A and B are shown apart, each in its own frame.
Chain A
Amino acid sequence: MTLDLALFLVLAIVAIATALGMLFSQNAVYSALFLVLNFVTVAIFYLLLGAPFIAMAQITVYAGAIMVLFLFVIMLLGADPLPKTAVLPWQRPLAIFLATLLAVEATFLLVTKARPTGSVLQPEAAVNTMDNLREMGMVLFNQYLLPFEVTSILLLVAMVGAITLTKKEKGAK
């Protein structure tokens, strides 16, 4: 077994374990922290795949900004576990069964029908950061300039939307 493969398997186990931890912890704060660990693991996968810029963006945007926002909202709304209700008691086992079916089906179809071939690059050959970033910047600002600008407008709209949603209406209270 090569070093690449061993690294991949260990990281895959960590990624799946943290995702399951996020799914099954009763406390929302623990869920958020498990998810931060999962995002960091996925960032390391990006480094292994030769995408250092995406890896850093993943850590700053996802593990940094987005999860801090989540933690803020959890602190704001309270992290108590929800009381048990008996609405749709058969829904949980059915959901787990269907999700397992989806996992098997998706894996089977992707591997047998889509038939992705080939291997990913060795990390030491792929992570030559400066060249990689320069080429990616050239592609981003030449070929994909318009989507990039549209993204900035989207972020502005989202910011205005979030402020408008949480703003108190005039005259209320």
Chain B
Amino acid sequence: MVPINYYIILSAILFTIGVTGVLIRRNALIIFMSIELMLNASNLAIVAFSSAIKSFSGQIFVFFVIAVAAAEVAVGLALIVEIFKSKRSIDVDQMNSLKG
């Protein structure tokens, strides 16, 4: 039996690695991947809690989160491609104007 605390600590560590990625990387694609990592970390915590209270609701919530993440990736990557077309770079330091 693995105590649920271990899963929660692992989830917190993975989430923090995602936050660090968003903060220190300048490549827009890697920032996006870090956001996916954070979503995954929270999903892991939700499934761990759902397994501890023996309920399916948490798993279904995670299923919806995965669907929303897929939609988010499709739109986000389209935006990144558009930004690359106008700026010729995916460095977030270059994205400093509202008007493309």
Residues of B within 8 A of A95 (CB): 20, 23-24
CA of A50 to CA of B48 in the docked complex: distance in angstroms?
Answer: 9
Asked whether A85 lies within 8 Å of B23 as measured between CB atoms, the reply is no
CA of A92 to CA of B24 in the docked complex: distance in angstroms?
Answer: 5
Residues of B within 8 A of A157 (CB): 71
Asked whether B8 lies within 8 Å of A110 as measured between CB atoms, the reply is yes
CB nearest neighbor in A for B9: A107
The number of chain B residues touching the other chain, given as a range, is 35 or more
Residues of B within 8 A of A51 (CB): 47, 50-51, 59, 62
Considering only residues 41-82 of chain A, those with a C-beta below 8 Å from chain B are: 42, 45-46, 48-51, 53-54, 57-58, 61-62, 65-66, 69-70, 73-74, 76-77, 82
Q: Which residues of B contact A (CB under 8 A)?
A: 1-10, 12-21, 23-27, 29-30, 32-34, 36-37, 40, 43-44, 47-52, 54, 56-57, 59-60, 62-64, 66-75, 77-82, 84, 89-91, 93
Q: Which residues of A contact B (CB under 8 A)?
A: 2, 4-5, 8, 12, 15-16, 19-20, 22-23, 28, 31-32, 35, 38-39, 42, 45-46, 48-51, 53-54, 57-58, 61-62, 65-66, 69-70, 73-74, 76-77, 82, 85, 87, 91-92, 95-96, 98-100, 102-103, 106-107, 110-111, 114, 116-122, 126, 135-136, 139-140, 143-144, 147-148, 151, 154-155, 157-159, 161-162, 165-166
